[in-house]
Amino acid sequence: MKSGKLFSFRSISLVALACVLILSLSLPQKQAAAAGTSVKGFYVSGSNLYDATNSPFVMRGINHAHTWYKNDLETAIPAIAATGSNVVRIVLSNGNKWSLDSVADVQHILALCDEYKLTAMLEVHDATGSDNISDLNAAVNYWISIKDALIGKEDRVIVNIANEWFGSWSTATWASGYQSAIPALRAAGIRNTLVVDSAGWGQYPGSIFNSGNAVFSSDPLKNTIFSIHMYEYAGGTATTVKSNIDSVLALGLPVIIGEFGYKHTSGDVDEATIMSYSQQIGVGWLAWSWYGNGGGVEYLDLASGPAGTLSEWGNTVVNSVYGTQATSILNKIYTTPGYVPVPDNGTTPTPAPTTPSPTATVAPTPTPTAAPTGLALYYRAADTNINDNQIKPHFNIKNNGPSAVSLSDLQIRYYFTKDGTQSLNAVIDWAQIGAANITTAFGNFSGTSADSYVELTFGSNAGSLPAGGQTGDIQLRLHKSDWSNFNEANDYSFDPSKVDFSTWDHVTLHKNGILISGIRP
């Protein structure tokens, strides 16, 4: 519930422009030609979002109320980029309540975001809180009317269909509305990743729990993610935050926190857990909002103006241990040398492989396939001493999905620094599935706090993980040939606080070479 949030910015002008948004869902000849220029871009696999380089993309960003402050764009976007954010969620209007953002306006917004290496998530705000299908349809028609700004930008633009459409805390109409809206957008040639806000002004994730799979299945491209807005109801306590996120992931669906604050109209918000838990499990978030809030929620301003000083709330979002400066990783289309957008009917670009050590076994990069749903990799540090002669990470893979998964298809990677030139040894001290069924290999890696990784693979005799099953403890130990000490303080995957098994996004799980959980350095 966001009573008072942003509805006193400008007087609401109900303009006749709405009538031009009643568009046919057919594809005119000119638009069909435009659709042919689309590129391979963001895509969903399992509960993860990947960019066009096949790298996981975890949103760390800020909401910006552009449609009420159109003249501030040139100042606000560079300032938001300076926070380290990798995505900005842009408020647009379809002309029903506020001044229309035209296709030319949107093209200008996207060009500026592109210049500052910000992935753009666009949303229509006019349907906020409405239970009327007509308001959702108006949002759909708006996207179709500006689709020339979206086609060909699938690798840098995400479409949030309608901000907080469906205010009631119920599911049926919310689900049926989106089950019609999503196919209509796809039929019109819009191939961008889509975002669907939960019901209840974004704060009723029960709508996703109940019908998320049905809504996701209505997308012929299977490229839709769900968004929870975490204020006092959906994000009031640590238990609520974790339960809401976990319940969506348990369905094998992708989820982000599309908005959150640190307090709201009817209570507190546990922003610390939202940020820390999202980092732990690799879920994206976008804080509300850059500046300009009214109606009694001015405290949600992250900055004092379009390029203003950060507020206390803004400092938390940007500079805290789990803030944008510390955790945001840019869309890798902006950081991959030689990246060229690939036409939708072309070959998906393959990221440059890391150089293996002489002992490493590196498989060719496979074509991306759908990740199995519900797989979770757990880690614990069995040796928390940062300066001794061994590294002892233990692992456990759990299958929370509906189907068995062959262990021989899976790989685990742990990233660290060698701290010397000595050769390395890896030993499986014990494994519930049998140490003889696990093979280790080292590879070189260039990334933050990592120059090496060790990869665990499973032989055919390891069998399969049934639905609801787990591997049990896998006890890995690394040491140097001369038994000299490591310095684990600068090791990407090492976390001495994790003495009990827990999910940890600094170790990665792969299926047939494709990353399915965790974040590479």
Catalytic residue positions, numbered: 164, 259
Q: Give every CB contact of residue 38 below 8 A, 6+ residues apart in sequence.
A: 151, 152, 154, 189, 191, 343, 344
Buried/exposed 300-332: b ≥16 CB within 10 Å, e otherwise: bbbbeebbbebbebbebbbebebbbeebbbbbb
Question: CA–CA separation, 7 vs 3, rounded Å?
Answer: 8
Identify whether the C-beta of residue 93 lies closer than 8 Å to the C-beta of residue 101.
yes
Please give the structure tokens belonging to residue 245: 């996120």
| Distance (Å, whole) CA 386 – CA 514 | 31
Could you give the CA distance from residue 267 to residue 237 in angstroms, rounded to a whole number?
10
Strand extents, DSSP E, 346-460 = 375-381, 393-399, 405-406, 410-416, 424-431, 438-447, 450-458
Rg over alpha carbons for the chain, rounded to the nearest Å, is 23
Beta strand residue intervals within 27-84, DSSP E = 43-45, 48-50, 60-64
**How far apart (Å, rounded) are the C-alpha atoms in residues 194 and 137?**
15
Give helix 73-81 / helix 103-115 axis angle, nearest 10°.
Answer: 30
For residue 274, CA distances in Å to 202, 246, 316, 471, 491 come to 15, 12, 12, 29, 25
Helices (H), 250-373: 271-281, 312-319, 324-327
Does residue 92 contact residue 120 with C-beta atoms inside 8 Å? no
For residue 516, count other CB atoms closer than 10 A to its CB.
24
